[in-house]
Structures are given as C-alpha cells and as structure tokens.
C-alpha cells in the first residue's frame, strides 16, 4: 500500500522492505495470491528486469492498470502545467 500511484517497484525491493532480502520469490507468490487487489494495489510490483511478472487478475489487466495510472499522472501533469 506504500507504493505510490503510477509507480512500480521490483519484487526484490518489496522483499527488502519487509526485511527478508532473499525472499523475493515468496513475495512474488504472495503478491500473486492477493485476494483484495482492489484495496492493495499489487499490480505495481514488477520483475527486476522490468517484465510485469504474474498477477492474479491476468497480465493483460496488470498492464492495463499500469497504463491507466500512467495516463492519469500524465493528464494531471498537463493540467498542472496549463494552470501555471
């Protein structure tokens, strides 16, 4: 829940955040099993190489959610620039 809207982190970074550096595979499995992804945005966690990795809702949905967030941030940034 501490991954900001429109950003991503790697599974390895998430494992480090929870205090178990080498548990990135367990973190990935737990992330993929997230039953409440609407409340806990697990789609923001990606593979170290930048690939999307698994997602309980399907890779296509994960990609769509990330694109949606990126577009929202870009739109907001454009609106802010227009009001300056």
Out of 14, 28, 42, 46, the active site residue is 42
CA 2 to chain centre: 10
| Residue 84 annotated in active site | no
**Token pair of 74 as six digits:** 């870009």
Integer Rg of the chain from CA: 14
Query: What are the catalytic residues?
Result: 42
């Amino acid at each position: 829940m501490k991954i900001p809207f429109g950003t991503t982190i790697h599974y390895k970074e998430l494992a480090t955040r929870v205090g178990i550096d080498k548990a990135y595979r367990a973190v990935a499995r737990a992330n993929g099993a997230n039953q409440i992804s609407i409340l806990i945005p697990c789609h923001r966690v990606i593979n170290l190489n930048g690939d999307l990795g698994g997602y309980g809702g399907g890779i296509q949905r994960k990609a769509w959610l990330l694109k949606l967030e990126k577009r929202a941030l870009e739109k907001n940034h454009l609106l802010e620039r227009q009001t300056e």
